Structure 1
Amino acid sequence: MAAVGLGKETASKLLGSTPHDQLLIKTSEALVGVCYVFIGILLFMVAFVKDKDFQNFFAKGCVLMHVLMAAWRVFFERKIEDFARDWPRQIVGDCALAMSWVFFLVRNWREKYD
């Protein structure tokens, strides 16, 4: 059963049980945080760009980023026992976000060639 709340048990689970787990958890949190901030800023900037080619280039980069995040979860986060139950759900989320960008690319491609 997953621990919910802000108790000592939850805090100890988020720290990791070994130094290797602690390093992977901190690296993963930093990577995800930087990616979210970076994508948020870029989305705001791209929203004002009218160039379809640039928007397609940006969407391809977002697909790549989500695929890389899913790969990170498969190769590193699944090895951490505290995250063992969460990583499959997060991979599904990463794949869903990547597919939303793929649908955007397909829609733009159809508009271009229809």
Structure 2
Amino acid sequence: MGSSGFFLLCILHSMVALTSGALMMFYSNEVFIFSHGRERASKLFGSTPHDQLIIQTSDSFSGLLLFAIGFFLFMVAFVKDREFHNFFAKGCVLLHIAMAVWRIYFERKLEEDLGHDWLRLVVADIALGLSWVFFLVYSWREKYD
């Protein structure tokens, strides 16, 4: 599983990031309405045209960054070095933990606008981080068996 598991995990995470990034860049309004409902989404869009432009630009750049991360994960999937796989997986675990902590301490304060969306995102960050932990445990078990 070592090398093929890393490849599959990178491709899975890449597809999630590429899809999410593309949706954020091109369909952010529709995604907000679908995920938050019309009333709450209207608050997230901003009240003035200037605010709306800034929020839309920010969402587009965030989507572009996420798309670039997905493309990077796609490229990394083809690396064959097992030591790099472990190093990269550990970095991904730390990144997902940092994102969960960020959401708990900062996005939670936006609860009146986002509802309980931050909690769903924290669970998603933990699940994505756990996928890398399972890869590390499996590769460690494979190495020492």
Q: Above 0.5 in TM-score?
A: yes
What is the percentage of aligned positions where both structures have the same residue? Answer: 61
Aligned equivalents of 2:98, 2:87: Cα separation in 1: 17
Partner letter of residue 84 of structure 1? G
> In structure 2, what is the Cα distance between the partners aligned to 1:12 and 1:57?
42
Aligned to 2:90, which of 60, 66, 72?
60
Q: What is the CA distance between 1:41 and its match in structure 2?
A: 2.5
Q: Which amino acid aligns with 1:39?
A: I
Post-superposition offset of 1:72: 1.0
Q: Which residue in 2 is equivalent to 1:98? A: 129
Q: Which residue of 2 aligns with 1:36?
A: 66
Q: Could you tell me which residue of structure 2 aligns to residue 51 of structure 1?
A: 81
Aligned residue pairs: how many? Answer: 103
**2:103 maps to amino acid:** R
Q: 1:91 to 1:74 in 2, by over 3 A?
A: same
Give me the whole-angstrom Cα distance separating, in 2, the residues matched to 1:61 and 1:83: 29
User: Which amino acid letter does the alignment assign opposite residue 62 of structure 1?
Assistant: C
> Which is bigger in relative contact order (C-alpha 8 A, separation at least 6)?
2
Kindly indicate whether the alpha-carbon contact (under 8 Å) linking 2:40 and 2:113 is maintained by their aligned counterparts in 1: no
The Cα RMSD (Å) is 2.9
Query: Deviation per CA, 1:59-113, whole angstroms, max 9, x where unpaired?
Result: 1111111111111111111111212311111111110110000000111111111
Matched, 1:4 2:10: no
Give the TM-score normalised by structure 1.
Answer: 0.73
Deviation, 1:40, is 1.1
Give ranges in structure 1 of 5+ residues lacking alignment.
Answer: 18-24
